[in-house]
Chains A and B, each alone.
Chain A
Amino acid sequence: MAELQEELITAAETGELDELSSPTEEAPEPPADDALTRARALLTHHPVADGYCGLPATLRTLPWYDLELGETSVDTDIPRLRDGGVGALLWTLRLPGAAAPEHPVTAVLEQLDLARHVVAEYPEGLRLARSASEACDARAYGRVAVLMGPAPASAAGDSLATLRALYALGVRLLTLSGTSWAGEAGLTRFGEEVVREMNRLGVLADLTGASARTARRVLEITKAPVILTHSGAHALNGHPDNVPDDLLAEVGANTGVCLVPCSAEHTGPALGDVADHLDHVRRVAGARAVGLAGTYDTGAVHPEGLADVSRYPYLLAELIERGWTETELALLTWGNVQRVLQGTEFAARAAALRRPPSTARIEPLDA
């Protein structure tokens, strides 16, 4: 999708118009760092599609906020998104805290409503995107694309019609865990029908946090690429969200993508730890199967040097020094997520020709 980015007015171009070099210029960047300069240049063309951002739930707790001019009480605001070279955000609709909400359907409708209004409040900075091409459009207009999801599976209320309502309201990813039909025992018959209906609609299956059995079964039956919205390599860190090498390889074979979280809990306390996970996922699943998940504003503790969304260039600089090629980096930041979204939409168009909306219900299938 790089071709759509080429007309983008970058921050550097805007700066060139400013002839009056201000004496109060901000402190200069650290001494010319070739890798960092290259990272920033790359990000202007291939911005980060950040796969896991918790902003909506965090904003709900704030009495007042200004994302336009900068908001220090969160890790994500528009100046820092621009600084960090972020082009798209996937907004998780999960509520913070471990406890499942009492009314998960209503809770997700409230999160969606909040997200819509936050995006509408900042038309210069954010734009809602419901497809890969809308995400590209948003970038072409210099906005950060916001995609809705992942939503927790419980938000579908054990109902395919409710799933369709969520889709109509913009949800594009569903995390397949924590319900009777996608639990430790794997997918039930109804759960399989949910995956088929997700394929038909164009909702990505998020396997972060899914049980091993669920993940395997989804990979067997899905007609679309899968996504892991915030998982590292289990071989390096035993966090339950992280996935073992055999599953990573299968995600690669599925043409899916694993987004590595900038979260100390999942990876480790240093920026280099995140890079280690990225290296590992690239090696095991392939350069076409790795991406980035900020996990900002989700309550996660971030590795040193990756405190907020402005820090992606530093992570990319580290990868450049580790020998990642520009092509690999472009896939990492933007290309892979774009391809997975497009693949899901393509599969949906094909499925919609063959299948009417499913009227399956959970009771007869899972009795």
Chain B
Amino acid sequence: MATSLSPALERARAVLADFPVVDGHNDLPWALREQVAYDIDARDIAVDQSAHLHTDLARLRAGGVGAQFWSVYVRSDMAGDVAVSATLEQIDCVQQLIERYPDTLRRALTAADMETARAEGRIASLMGAEGGHSINNSLATLRALHALGVRYMTLTHNDNIAWADSATDDPGVGGLSPFGHEVVREMNRTGMLVDLSHVAATTMRAALDTSVAPVIFSHSSSRAVCDHPRNIPDDVLERLSANGGVAMATFVPKFVLQAAVDWTAAADDNLRAHGLHHLDTSPEAMKLHRAFEEAHPRPVATVSTVADHLDHMREVAGIDHVGIGGDYDGTAFLPEGLGDVSGYPNLIAELVDRGWSDADLAKLTWRNAVRVLGAAEDVARDEQSRRGPSNATLAQLDQQDQLDRLSD
């Protein structure tokens, strides 16, 4: 700890004391699954885990985190019951963490719960599912996830699914299929936030057309600042003020720093040139990767890189529509100054230096995200007074759609 804080950092900490960070995406559950098969005793986050994880309780506190959407991600090559069951295991993991650390974590299902947690000085713990494969084309399964506490679902992960296109796959249904639109409507009705990180721009626009509730981007930055498909185009950011949603900027260098985007592309090409998949993490692949990294030093993003995104997103979407989604424990490399969950004050200090007011910062860190969840609850109540649960199926909606198109 520095003996004397810079004035900006001091102000950042003061803001965070009142309006802590709501982070949109943290992959601690998946890290615990991969590292220790959910044996949470073996990765006790009440003690320092910096050797293994970006996240532990002390660093969350140091980072001024007041609410965390824990990702209940499962790999997008999982499908059917395998994906559903794995998602239930991820949810169970979050539940175990909340029960094990009751002094620090508090289960939160609503905006009101988040405010209660803040008042109690505990970290509101929410859940977000990452990819429509987690519901196995079943709206009842979507409702089951909601009943178990999941409050957002990213429509896709890295691969297309039957009813929605991913940003990092070839065009499929061209955004959302008819069933995909029905999923969005049912998410509105149940009070599950529609998360548009990871999806294709066509999917973003289609979802914004259909959703009557605010949407979120749980961990995506600006495509105008850094041209990567995981980021948000300006025309979509512009629609957030009408929609009421929030775009939570992510820190992942290979999405936010152009030099890192280019470097990652070259590194992936290097693996492919050796006949390996670009996401391979086998010892052989890692060795090749290290050799490449020695020859071509990895470009380093900084706090300023992320602040550039936030400045732009604020400019385009408006101050009421920006937030933070670090993607800790879901990515290997992070910007300087944001190396783990204790780093948020450095980002806030950078924004202080750039002239963000305390009120602006409070919106960025806390208020926008809480408002969006509350608004989704209001929409859900309203929708539920008008219609019952949908049990539409992919077969009904999408096959009929294909037949209609053929007959046209």
Contact = CB atoms under 8 A, between A and B. Distances in A.
Contact of A162 (B39, B89, B140): B89
Interface stretch (A133-141, A164-172, A303-311): A164-172
A239 interface: no
Interface stretch (A9-17, A105-113, A178-186, A278-286): A105-113
Interface in A234-260: none
A113 B389 contact: yes
A113 B92 contact: no
B136 interface: yes
Nearest to A158: B85
A157 interface: yes
A305 B89 CA distance: 47
B389 A103 contact: no
A106 B388 contact: no
Contacts of B136: 103, 106
B132 to A, nearest CB: 13
A357 B92 CA distance: 10
A351 interface: no
A114 B389 CA distance: 9
Contacts of A106: 80-81, 84, 136, 138, 140-141
A306 B15 CA distance: 71
B69 interface: no
B93 A109 contact: no
Contacts of A164: 92, 95
B147 interface: yes
Chain B interface main SS type? helix
Contacts of B80: 102-103, 106
Nearest to B96: A357
Given A109-B138, A110-B140, A117-B388, A161 B89 contact: yes
Contacts of A165: 88, 91-92, 144, 148
A169 B149 CA distance: 11
B37 interface: yes
B143 to A, nearest CB: 5
A117 B384 CA distance: 12
A357 B388 CA distance: 35
22 contacts: A102-B80, A103-B80, A103-B136, A104-B81, A105-B85, A109-B84, A109-B138, A109-B141, A113-B143, A157-B84, A157-B85, A157-B88, A159-B88, A159-B89, A161-B38, A161-B89, A161-B91, A162-B85, A165-B88, A168-B95, A168-B148, A169-B144
Interface of A: 102-106, 109-110, 112-114, 116-117, 157-159, 161-162, 164-165, 168-169, 357, 359, 361
Given A106-B138, A113-B143, A168-B95, 20 more contacts: A103-B81, A105-B84, A105-B88, A106-B81, A106-B140, A106-B141, A110-B141, A113-B141, A113-B144, A114-B391, A117-B389, A157-B85, A158-B85, A159-B85, A161-B91, A162-B89, A162-B92, A165-B92, A357-B96, A359-B38
